[in-house]
Amino acid sequence: MTASSPKIRQLLQRQRDFFATGQTRDLQFRRAQLRRLRDVILAYEERIVAAAKADLGRPTLEAYFEIAVVKEVQLALKQLAKWAKPRRVGTSIEVFPAQAWVQPEPLGVVLIIGPWNYPFQLMVSPLVGAIAAGNCAMLKPAEDAPQTSALLAALVAEIFAPDYITVVEGAKEVGQALLAERFDHIFFTGGAAVGRLVLAAAAPHLTPVTLELGGKSPCIVDRSARLDLAAKRIAWGKFINGGQTCVAPDYLLVDRSIKAEFMTHLLGAIEQLYGSDPAVSQDFGRIVNERHLDRLESLLGDLANCSTAGSRSIVLGGQIAVGKKAPLVANDKDKLCYLAPTVVDEVTWDDSLMAEEIFGPILPVLSYEDLGEAIAEINRRPKPLALYIFAQDQSVQQQVVASTASGGVCINDTIVQFSLLSLPFGGVGQSGMGSSHGRAGFDTFSHYRSLLKRSMWLDIDWRYAPYSADKLQKMRRILTSRWFGG
């Protein structure tokens, strides 16, 4: 549905009223909703895949990534009782006799704003955490993925009352209207520019915010790496979903001593994955729309005509087309935006390709001779969402991890760390704040309330006025004691 501010306000109030009934706090209620969500995702499986293919021109296998969120539902169902259980904590002598504990409680009504690159998975994944934690939720899908947005709205309406969970569709004006309201938490996945707007909109209400952003995730290739396998895993991680993945390797830093050999493996791996003409490959996706294709074309600039040895140059790809027929989408009338898998060599830190997150199938390659200097260059830039290191030398692995900061690290592979629900997923600094996935998603949408319960069978009077020298001595002994009972 498209909603005006009065309609949004009315929906929000209905959700607040439903939350106030206390139904969402009941664990059996939460489990029932998670089971319904799981079952309808499986029932809608083919339609979800078809929507992702239509919105992004994805290969079928990559479109199935959207269904991976079922694993998150299953984990929440299995672990919910453990996650929601109050946790006893120790007490100290000044409150004796007493009990203390911490218990997770739902926040209330939360807003989830999703991206277009994984338009179903990255909407439903935080929703799982919100439901498991006992909240009501309002979802705003990305308008740049209209097929998935409409399908998500239909799916949610089929199983949830709008007083509990609802989808609000529309363009940026609808998003602005939602952000003008007061929610109990806002979860946003997307780019840093919009993330700043979300943070600014939340500030007047002091609304807590989780920002899953992105950034220029570096990928270091050390001389000790197994170069053929590194090239294959990097090519896969960079070019799945047409390069439109927030944790994709954004640029390569390759040890100069093995660079020539590695580049041979890299170009060979790309051809192995997508053939000599990726435009006709059934396994290579498309750019979401012309606006994003124009942005990527501008990043390439005049590199297509640059072939001077020793200078930055396109060594693979660079071809751009709009409306190019391909077997990925059944409807020939769909306008497909194509940018070939592109590798740009001899890039420098000052090039335009290094100024912003690429979010497309363009892979800049830089060289280094000293790993410490390469790390220093990484550290001069905002902290990335992911950092990749290919090295079999454990001392190199340890040096990179110990000397850098990032949302997460993956050693000797790319992307797959996102699939591990036991690892919290989130950024740091400009790549985001807060985390999600599994227990971390439950925690994000929970308030950990501290409780202290004292007995009334004993009451020591040292804290009460009138104060005396004897009471002061007792207070000093108690407050400086090494025994805290915790």
Residues known to be catalytic = 212, 246
Instruction: Give the number of other Cβ atoms within 10 Å of residue 4's Cβ.
Output: 12
Q: How far apart are CA 96 and CA 465, in angstroms?
A: 19
The closest alpha carbon to 338, from 348, 330, 350, 328, belongs to 328
Q: How far apart are CA 413 and CA 390, in angstroms?
A: 7
Q: Which residues of 71-87 are buried (b: 16+ CB within 10 A; e: fewer)?
A: ebbebbbeebeebbeee
Query: Do 184 and 17 form a contact (C-beta atoms < 8 A)?
Result: no
C-alpha dihedral over 249, 252, 257, 258, to 10 degrees?
A: 40
Say which amino acid occupies 394: Q
Contact residues for 284 (Cβ-Cβ < 8 A; gap 6+): 59, 239, 242, 273, 274, 278, 341
State how far Cα 109 lies from the chain centre: 21
The DSSP secondary-structure symbol of 479 reads H
Query: Do 136 and 20 form a contact (C-beta atoms < 8 A)?
Result: no
Residue with tokens 């950034």: 215
Query: Do 23 and 31 form a contact (C-beta atoms < 8 A)?
Result: no
The closest alpha carbon to 368, from 384, 391, 335, belongs to 391
* DSSP-assigned states of every residue in 80-106: HHHHHS-EEE---GGG-SEEEEEEEEE
Query: Do 384 and 431 form a contact (C-beta atoms < 8 A)?
Result: yes
What's the Rg (C-alpha) of the chain? 26
- Strand-pairing partners, residue 251, are 218
Say which amino acid occupies 190: G
Degrees, nearest 5: CA angle 386-388-393: 145
Between strands 362-368 and 136-140, the pairing is: unpaired
Instruction: Give the number of other Cβ atoms within 10 Å of residue 99's Cβ.
Output: 13
Say which amino acid occupies 56: L
Contact residues for 155 (Cβ-Cβ < 8 A; gap 6+): 40, 41, 44
